[in-house]
Amino acid sequence: MKMFWAGLATETNTFSPFPTTIADFQVLRASDSDADDPQFSGWFEGINTIKKMARERGYDFVASLSAFAEPAGYTVRSAYEQLRDELLADLKAAMPVDIVMLDLHGAMVAQGYDDCEGDLTARVREIVGKDARIGVELDLHCHLTQDLLDQADVVVIYKEYPHVDVLERAKELFALLADAAEGKIKPVMALFDCRMVGLFPTTRQPMRGFVDEMMALEGQDGVLSISLAHGFPWGDVADMGVRMLVVTDNDVPKAQTLAEQLGRKFFALRHDVDQQPSPLADVLSRVADYAESGKPVVIADITDNPGGGAPSDSTFALKALLERGITDAGIAMIWDPVVVDIAKRAGVGAKLQLRIGGKMGPMSGDPVDLEVEVIGVAANMAQEFEQQGAEPVKLPCGDTVALRGRGIDIIVNSSRTQVLSPQVFSNFGIDPTRKRCLVVKSTQHFYAAFAPIASAVFYAGAPGALVPYYQQIPYRNVRTDKYPWLDDPFGL
Ligand SMILES: [Zn+2]
């Protein structure tokens, strides 16, 4: 038995002004995966875990590339085609192959390809033939299409948001694929369109309970796997939206019935599971309420989260902090490579007059002119992201500087990266626990590491590339015959 593994992932915000180019992809190749580069330890752990599981079953294991780009706007057509074709060439060279395992995202949109994952999987099927098993792991912020399901044998999607279960789901997918290839099971899949849009953090109720219920049903009565595709609301493609996926052991009616039953149950929770951010001004006016707590109020600047493809150089939050005279505050991370370069060259202790952020267009607001002191410089800084049952993943932020102006510590970086850990402050000797207020450009992935040090966590909506009010997003391809445009699209 021979297994082929590859990864190609990004999440495309079709409203973002940033193109995703070939240079934006971090590409690891099989030959790198034995190298001991601690910066990518978590990535290698994923590949190496699957490699070990394959070898334990006595399989040959061939790894192709693993490519990932920080979310941004449309992927340039040639970039997608170049990576896809390299992967397919590796697959052809590895033939005959019995099992293909693909680590994708599910919301990659390239110029000319609304469904990159469907396109890739169809081409893989063409090469391996109908008898090989194809398994796909997706991020829950995917556009789950019937085209993809038609080509794959098993699809398993992350269940947790924040995504702390990437490796756990990969292990499950491997086990299902291997059992299918060995003839022990025959996976069949059914999809149900929940006809709704939203963002659903799994750390709070009733979402937590729903995820727990999905997990409790797995492994019983022929149910092999259950996934909820949350969808990615800033991808303007026809298949955007929430979908329920059930995989059973050769029982199509059961998969269909359960997918519909769970899908309708989730739809019934629609008013309670979405993130529901508050306007930035409302959130900032509440900071004073927590002055006596001795802990910071943490504010997620969700509209400018580079993890969702936003530029990460918007200034609405920084400007509001300055206008309100909020001091003992920290904000991270504003993408501005020009500022980083100037501050780096000036060095720690230098006092500078800088024009910060606001470069990428109207959705970033105007630049902020501010006199600052450089309080820290870090070459290619990294931050850690916790994973269930594994070492934290170390993710690079590019060259990064800490600036202090009018009582606000501003972290500025050169490589757009969402904030995942208070290390983005503490790496510079800034104690985040002693601030009154911390603003982080992230939607939800910051939460696990920041909640323990926070007096309160607020999600703030401002102008930007990830406007959290779906009815204001200028879709051209997404059909709006769903919630929240209609409160009950099933009842019509
Ligand atoms: Zn995601």
pLDDT confidence of residue 492: 63
193 C-alpha to center of ligand 1: Å? 19
457 C-alpha to center of ligand 1: Å? 20
What is the per-residue burial (b if ≥16 Cβ within 10 Å, else e) of 172-187?
Answer: bbbbbbbbbbeeebeb
List the Cα angle 312/318/322 in 5-degree steps. Answer: 170
| Amino acid, single-letter form, for residue 240 | M
* Average pLDDT score over residue span 385-401: 85
- Taking the C-alpha atoms of residue 99 and residue 63, their distance in angstroms, rounded to an integer, is 12
81 C-alpha to center of ligand 1: Å? 23
141 C-alpha to center of ligand 1: Å? 5
Q: Which two tokens stand for residue 7?
A: 């990864």
Q: What is the pLDDT of residues 128-151, one digit of tens each?
A: 999 999 999 999 999 999 999 999
450 C-alpha to center of ligand 1: Å? 18
pLDDT confidence of residue 389: 74
What are the angstrom distances between the C-alpha of 482 and each of 177, 242, 470, 491? 34, 10, 11, 11
- Taking the C-alpha atoms of residue 313 and residue 44, their distance in angstroms, rounded to an integer, is 31
* Average pLDDT score over residue span 319-338: 97
Does the structure show a pLDDT above 60 at 36?
no
Residue 90 has a CB neighbour count (10 Å cut-off) of: 17
Spell out the domains of the chain, with CATH numbers in brackets.
2-273 (3.40.50.2300), 278-467 (no CATH)
163 C-alpha to center of ligand 1: Å? 7
351 C-alpha to center of ligand 1: Å? 39
Q: What is the pLDDT of residues 289-304, one digit of tens each?
A: 999 999 999 999 999 9
Strand-by-strand arrangement of the 456-461 sheet? 278-279, 456-461, 297-301, 437-440, 329-335, 408-413, 390-405, 368-387, 351-356
9 C-alpha to center of ligand 1: Å? 11
State pTM to two decimals: 0.89
The reply to whether omega before 206 is within 30° of 0 (cis) is yes
**Residue 381 — φ and ψ, nearest 5°?**
-65, 150
Q: What is the pLDDT of residues 186-241, one digit of tens each?
A: 999 999 999 999 999 998 899 999 999 999 999 999 999 999 999 999 999 999 99
93 C-alpha to center of ligand 1: Å? 32
157 C-alpha to center of ligand 1: Å? 10
Q: Which two tokens stand for residue 369?
A: 């002119």
* Average pLDDT score over residue span 109-125: 98
- Taking the C-alpha atoms of residue 152 and residue 122, their distance in angstroms, rounded to an integer, is 8
Q: Which two tokens stand for residue 147?
A: 């085209």
> How far separated are the first and last CA of the chain, in Å rounded?
51
Q: What is the pLDDT of residues 255-274, one digit of tens each?
A: 999 999 999 999 999 999 98
- Taking the C-alpha atoms of residue 107 and residue 112, their distance in angstroms, rounded to an integer, is 14
pLDDT confidence of residue 276: 77
Q: Whose structure tokens read 């402050």?
A: 425
What are the angstrom distances between the C-alpha of 428 and each of 155, 401, 402, 465? 42, 8, 7, 29
- Taking the C-alpha atoms of residue 172 and residue 138, their distance in angstroms, rounded to an integer, is 13
- Taking the C-alpha atoms of residue 365 and residue 465, their distance in angstroms, rounded to an integer, is 11
307 C-alpha to center of ligand 1: Å? 8
* Average pLDDT score over residue span 422-427: 98
Q: What is the dihedral of CA 370, 451, 455, 438, to 10 degrees?
A: 0
211 C-alpha to center of ligand 1: Å? 16
pLDDT-based confidence at 29, cuts 50/70/90? Answer: confident
104 C-alpha to center of ligand 1: Å? 11
Does the structure show a pLDDT above 60 at 37?
no
More confident call, 492 vs 41: 492
